[in-house]
Amino acid sequence: MTTIRLTAAQAMVKWLSVQMTSDGSRFIEGVWAIFGHGNVAGLGEALHGIKEVLPTWRGQNEQTMAHAAIAFAKTHKRQRAMAVTSSIGPGATNMVTAAALAHVNRLPLLLIPGDVFANRAPDPVLQQIEDFDDATVSANDCFRPVVRYFDRISRPEHILTALPRALRVMTDPANCGPVCLAFCQDTQAEAYDYPVAFFTPKVWHIRRPEPDARELAEAVATIKAAKKPLIVTGGGVIYSGAEPALRDFALRHNIPMVETQAGKGAVDWQEQLHFGSPGVTGTDCGNKLAAEADLVIGVGTRFQDFTTGSWTVFSAPNRKLLSINIHGYDAAKRGAQSLVSDAKVALEKISAGLGGHRFADPDFAARTAWFQTTEAVMAAPNGAGLPTDAQVIGAVQRNTGKKSVVMCAAGTMPGALHVLWRAAAGGYHMEYGYSCMGYEIAGAMGIKMAAPDKDVVCMVGDGSYMMANSELATAVMMGIPFTVVLTDNRGYGCINRLQKGTGGAAFNNLLDDSYHVNPSQIDFVAHSRSMGAIVVKAGSIAQLETELQAAKAATIPTVIVIDTDPMPGTGAGGTWWDVAVPEVSDRIEVNNARKDYEQATKRQWLVN
């Protein structure tokens, strides 16, 4: 057997550089790295040696580097991914939140945190977590609940099995998610005679599981028996590349569609059978169909509580739930009739089974009325006063096109965008599985790296911007242009509204309602400019529209700051959301909200 002598770190990056996709690209596009004493000598030297083949990028924060990697993978529909490495200790645990985000969203991410010394000779090393009862535990064990596969590389030959297992998980359509390979720092530097054959380029094909024949026949029969079916489009449609199949299925059988946050953009909003969104952030016309549907056909969705209005929105008597999903865990939720399959394959096979079967027209007048309503909600304001978030969305909508991608993650904007944004096919990117504040700017950078031909618009509130903004400097340094629309409503406006809506007093959300000695005076223009971005302050919706056009020609990020009113919601759409209200309170408002809450919970469908 022919061998080559390499350190474990050199062997790892050499192997990663030859893992390919079916279109000839690397599956791991590159590595985000912040070096420290747990990875600088081993992985750092190895990455330097292969930098012309496998690029390394330096970020400002381990969590947000991972966010950029996640956004890249999501944009590539899980067909490509990135790796992220950190030192031991805080560098590693900074990535735990990002791992959870990738886990919830079923997205591939390779995390390579440094770890303690396998030989234990210098223990305890700087930043080492010591478990008093278990000597095998390190800080990296925090990753175990939030990754799909965990391994600790404590011998150089471990990578011969660990790396293929990692890529198997990341390319598995059902179990896809983050992987953590905790890499002991002395092992990184240890040499071993690796088989040359181990570094033979490998193409990873993502399989398309076929449905079980019995489940397929039952699904066809259930759909034929329905009178008013409704399709709920989830992110699995996009990851499967099933967007055209879904559109053709809906049109052929005349079945209306609504989209979850993850599924939004699978079908162009102008399709007549597209009725917007369901649930808490649902359209009026979409929720009307949801309430009337006798069969809800979920395609690639987890049926999150926002989608289901905490299981109150699909309220027709004796309605049935058919769940088409790549994973049996998701397909069986809420007692659903399951069809475990790739979404594209399932839709094509069901359609063939239905033949020419078509359903009666849905209420197209309600759809028309909805768009008329939202046109007014998103229109530019006529009078004085701060604009609403809906009016900001309207301005962005009027100044984007088919090549644009709007993105967000947390706060007011996700709900407002879900219910109002008119997404072109492929024009929407929302991290709402984990709704992680601070994802936005790093995520926008990752999207632009994955799709450089797209105009990326990042919608972020001042609260989320303050959580994590430092990758703006990275994007400037790397020459990655995108537009940030920073809405400043002086605090957490979304949660302030929720707090008041459940009877609570305005407290600790808006800056003026939080403990302070000196009033907050954050200059977002100066702050963003200090990181090298192009920055402007828009004093009106009209000026915002002008600056949005100007930003399209920029070669670095542009930040447009605009003050907004924190009080109004979208003014359209929506349904109830289960947020538990205290049973006992001194506040009359809370007691009244509790009565409403108890009535609402009686409408929940409780089968699990």
User: What is the predicted pLDDT for the residue at 606?
Assistant: 63
> CB–CB of 255/274 below 8 Å?
no
User: What is the predicted pLDDT for the residue at 56?
Assistant: 98
Task: Determine the average pLDDT of the residues in 463-490.
Answer: 97
For 194-246, how does the pLDDT look when each residue is reduced to its tens digit (9 = 90+)?
Answer: 999 999 999 999 999 999 999 999 999 999 999 999 999 999 999 999 999 99
Task: Name the DSSP class of 69.
Answer: H
Residue for token digits 């079908």? 267
Q: 359: number of CA atoms within 13 Å, CB side? A: 25
CB neighbour list of residue 169: distance below 8 Å, 6 or more residues apart: 108, 148, 149, 175, 176, 177, 179
Task: Determine the average pLDDT of the residues in 501-530.
Answer: 94
User: What is the predicted pLDDT for the residue at 65?
Assistant: 98
> Which phi-psi region, left, alpha or beta, contains residue 309 (left: φ > 0; alpha: ψ -120 to 50)?
left
Query: In the structure encoding, which two tokens stand for residue 313, read together?
Result: 């929105």
For 104-163, how does the pLDDT look when each residue is reduced to its tens digit (9 = 90+)?
Answer: 999 999 999 999 999 999 999 999 999 999 999 999 999 999 999 999 999 999 999 999
CB neighbour list of residue 125: distance below 8 Å, 6 or more residues apart: 37, 88, 116, 117
CA 472 to chain centre: 19
For 28-56, how does the pLDDT look when each residue is reduced to its tens digit (9 = 90+)?
Answer: 999 999 999 999 999 999 999 999 999 99
For 333-348, how does the pLDDT look when each residue is reduced to its tens digit (9 = 90+)?
Answer: 999 999 999 999 999 9
pLDDT tier, 567 (very low <50, low <70, confident <90, very high otherwise): confident
Q: Is residue 273 predicted with pLDDT exceeding 60?
A: yes
How many other CB atoms are found less than 10 A from the CB of residue 596? 14
Q: Which amino acid is at 12?
A: M
Percent residues over pLDDT 90 in the chain: 96
For 390-427, how does the pLDDT look when each residue is reduced to its tens digit (9 = 90+)?
Answer: 999 999 999 999 999 999 999 999 999 999 999 999 99
Q: Is residue 570 predicted with pLDDT exceeding 90?
A: no
Kindly report the average pLDDT of the chain as a whole number: 96
User: What is the predicted pLDDT for the residue at 125?
Assistant: 92
Q: Which amino acid is at 461?
A: G
Residue for token digits 């309602």? 513
Q: Is residue 608 predicted with pLDDT exceeding 80?
A: no
> CB–CB of 322/298 below 8 Å?
yes
Query: In the structure encoding, which two tokens stand for residue 107, read together?
Result: 């997205």
All domains of the chain in start order, with CATH:
3-203 (3.40.50.970), 213-366 (3.40.50.1220), 379-563 (3.40.50.970)
How far apart are the C-alpha atoms of 7 and 526, rounded to whole Å? 46
pLDDT tier, 378 (very low <50, low <70, confident <90, very high otherwise): very high
Q: Is residue 607 predicted with pLDDT exceeding 70?
A: no
For 583-596, how does the pLDDT look when each residue is reduced to its tens digit (9 = 90+)?
Answer: 999 999 999 999 99
More confident residue, 608 or 219: 219
CA torsion 85-147-408-488 (nearest 10°) is -70
